Amino acid sequence: MPVPKIPLARNLNIALIQLIAGADKAANLSKVTQFIDSAITKSKIGKIDVVMLPECFNSPYAVDKFREYAEEIPNGETSRLLSELASKHDVFIVGGSIPEHDTLNDKIFNTSLTFNPLGQIIAKHRKTHLFDIDIPNGITFKESETLSAGDKATVFKLGDFGNVGLGICYDIRFPELAMAASRAPNNSFAMFYPGAFNTTTGPLHWHLLAKARAVDNEIFTVLCSPGRDVGGSGYQAYGHSLVVDPYGKVIAEAGEGEEILYAQLDKEILPAARSGIPVHYQRRFDVYEDVTPTTKVSDL
């Protein structure tokens, strides 16, 4: 089976920053700066191409805090800092997510920005599926009490590496975003998911969903979590930032605490997986519908 297009043009080195964010925003941003500096200068896998941050890295992950910590984009201090760090280190930054204040309509979104090495914003994804769950004796959380949902899938060009899709945490449970990103004409080689699963659903589904999206679409999945704040009174993130290859194999995994996780995405693996197990080209859109043409995707 011919592989029509190689979606990942060259190997990609990535550093995932698994940090714990607290109530002090200035301290959170200073920690981000230090972690990114170390990720770049202490890399043992060569030059880092992409640094990724977790969901809600500048604020507590709490429904009653999102508005207080929310910033305008691109003029807020967090957007400006990530832009400076991207150009200082000549690196792409997949900037986890932050609470965004859209002053035009006074709404708050959970928003992820990606910067290129010139410090320019090249992608903006607003969490499309809000995390509203209620598991008796487990966890109750209702983002929709204070957040509004985004209204599109996000795919963007990561320089000359190729295209990637972006979702935020609970978005990973909805396979359509990854399907639309990975298929023609979007042809992404990876889905990036900043995410903060918790100690109830993390052990159940974090690895399963990362592998499922990877295998279904024969892409890499890259999940960056906050570290677990053991002993803290707030939301307990699961940790275990994770990188999965297009065969569904875990190629890097963090523990529970703060750490920098490194991984290399090998450009040969994706075409090998797709030619060996050619489900990517065997879909029967005469039997069932392809979601790609009807999915609203950001402009590439």
Residue nearer to ligand LYUYDEPV on the CB measure, 4 or 232 = 232
User: Which residues are catalytically annotated?
Assistant: 55, 127, 169
Residue nearer to ligand LYUYDEPV on the CB measure, 51 or 196 = 196
CA distances from 165 to 13, 35, 96, 182, 224 (A): 17, 24, 13, 8, 14
Residue nearer to ligand LYUYDEPV on the CB measure, 189 or 206 = 206
- Quote the least distance from Cβ 113 to ligand LYUYDEPV, whole Å: 17
Strands in 121-126's sheet, in edge-to-edge order, are: 121-126, 107-115, 92-102, 50-52, 12-18, 259-265
| Cβ pair 235, 62 in contact under 8 A | yes
- Quote the least distance from Cβ 220 to ligand LYUYDEPV, whole Å: 20
- Quote the least distance from Cβ 131 to ligand LYUYDEPV, whole Å: 3
Dihedral class, residue 56 (left if φ above 0, else alpha if ψ from -120 to 50, else beta):
left
Where does this chain bind ligand LYUYDEPV (CB under 6 A)?
55, 131, 169-170, 173, 196-198, 201, 205
- Quote the least distance from Cβ 245 to ligand LYUYDEPV, whole Å: 22
Around Cβ 262, how many Cβ atoms within 10 Å? 18
Residue nearer to ligand LYUYDEPV on the CB measure, 177 or 196 = 196
